[in-house]
Amino acid sequence: MHTISELQQLIENAVSKVEYPAHPSRLYEPISYIMKLGGKRIRPALLILSTELFNTDLLKEAIEAALAIETFHNFTLIHDDIMDNAPLRRGQDTVHIKWGVNNAILSGDVMMVEANKHLTKLPVEVLKDALACFNLTAQGVCEGQQLDMEFEQRKDVTIPEYLNMIRLKTAVLVGGAMKLGAIVAGADAEDADLLYKFGENFGIAFQLQDDILDVYGDPLKFGKQVGGDIISNKQTFMLLKLKEIAVAADLTALEELSLQSDYPSKIRSITDLYNQYDIRNIAASEMQKSLDIAFEALARVNVDTARKAELTALAKLLMNREH
């Protein structure tokens, strides 16, 4: 069983060794570009750890599945960045800024094919289950992105709707990666589903933590701009909860603040409102609820507790991040 840092090394090696065709270069260069921009490689690491829970002799297979998930994830980043009109990804130009929108659409499309090519290398005994898991996961992610876009146009998004959106957009892929890891190992369906449940709920918790860190993160450690969600009036858990419980006068103030162009002042004022209504703790307790469901599911996975140590350690490391 690999440690987390060994895994990250393995994944970086595997990513750097994937060869794409040389021509047409403008189709394939964006793939290498985004795949090598880095990121935390959380999904592939969780996938490989899920395989190794059951069988440590399937590293090659687990890595192919991990590359499928990581390639799919990066494909969604390219297309999401077009839809969100985002200029930067991990501090670098987004693909559509560097190569143009049309090229970014098409390179994304061919990445979906590349993801499926990795999957197709899996042993035939697990192939059908692996594909079914991957397809369901990919479909959920698309639905999540669709809801995210629609919510930007709506003023009446509820907290259950928001939680369902982040479940689809973010958490399903974490759950799907872990279930895929279990499928690669030939785990039984119940254990694979428990790992899905762990991943999905862990993914929700991770996103809620992201919402919290956007407001309360250490600017030196948080990967994105602290207050970015506030500046863009993003309907996060924090904002939706505040709107749910704030008194009318504060709602009016919030409405006015949403138009404010002095961003440091906007961030300060809205953070004050969050503090006043204890939103940080409410969000943290919502996050804890998902974490509890996640770890309860992990506890029920039918392997020795000792084998779960690396998985638990990675999950705890991720939840203690300040970035």
Binding region for a second copy (CB under 8 A): 21, 23-24, 26-27, 76, 79, 82-83, 102-103, 105-106, 108-110, 112-114, 116-117, 119-120, 124, 127-128, 131-132, 135, 138-139, 142-143, 145-147, 149-150
Supply the minimum distance, in Å, between the C-beta of residue 162 and a second copy. 14
Measured from the CB atom, the residue of 27 and 318 that comes closer to a second copy is 27
Measured from the CB atom, the residue of 95 and 194 that comes closer to a second copy is 95
Supply the minimum distance, in Å, between the C-beta of residue 75 and a second copy. 8
Measured from the CB atom, the residue of 65 and 213 that comes closer to a second copy is 65
Measured from the CB atom, the residue of 170 and 209 that comes closer to a second copy is 170
Supply the minimum distance, in Å, between the C-beta of residue 73 and a second copy. 13
Say how far apart CA 55 and CA 9 lie, in whole Å: 20
Q: Which spans in the chain are helix H? A: 4-17, 25-35, 42-54, 59-83, 95-99, 101-120, 124-152, 159-166, 172-184, 189-216, 228-231, 237-245, 248-258, 263-276, 279-300, 309-319
Neighbours of 236 (CB within 10 A): 22
Supply the minimum distance, in Å, between the C-beta of residue 124 and a second copy. 5
Say how far apart CA 55 and CA 57 lie, in whole Å: 6
Measured from the CB atom, the residue of 146 and 312 that comes closer to a second copy is 146
CA angle 123, 135, 49 (to 5 degrees): 55
Supply the minimum distance, in Å, between the C-beta of residue 103 and a second copy. 8
DSSP 32-96: HHHHTS----HHHHHHHHHHHHH-TT-HHHHHHHHHHHHHHHHHHHHHHHHHTT-SEETTEE-HH
Supply the minimum distance, in Å, between the C-beta of residue 235 and a second copy. 16
Say how far apart CA 198 and CA 213 lie, in whole Å: 22
Secondary structure (3-state) at 217: coil
Under 8 Å between Cβ of 215 and 280: yes
Supply the minimum distance, in Å, between the C-beta of residue 300 and a second copy. 28
Supply the minimum distance, in Å, between the C-beta of residue 26 and a second copy. 6
Under 8 Å between Cβ of 161 and 29: no
Sign of the torsion formed by the C-alpha atoms of 86, 88, 105 and 61: negative
Show the tokens assigned to 19: 């060869």
Measured from the CB atom, the residue of 38 and 100 that comes closer to a second copy is 100
DSSP 262-278: -HHHHHHHHHHHHHHTT
Measured from the CB atom, the residue of 57 and 109 that comes closer to a second copy is 109
Supply the minimum distance, in Å, between the C-beta of residue 218 and a second copy. 33
Measured from the CB atom, the residue of 232 and 275 that comes closer to a second copy is 232
Measured from the CB atom, the residue of 74 and 271 that comes closer to a second copy is 74
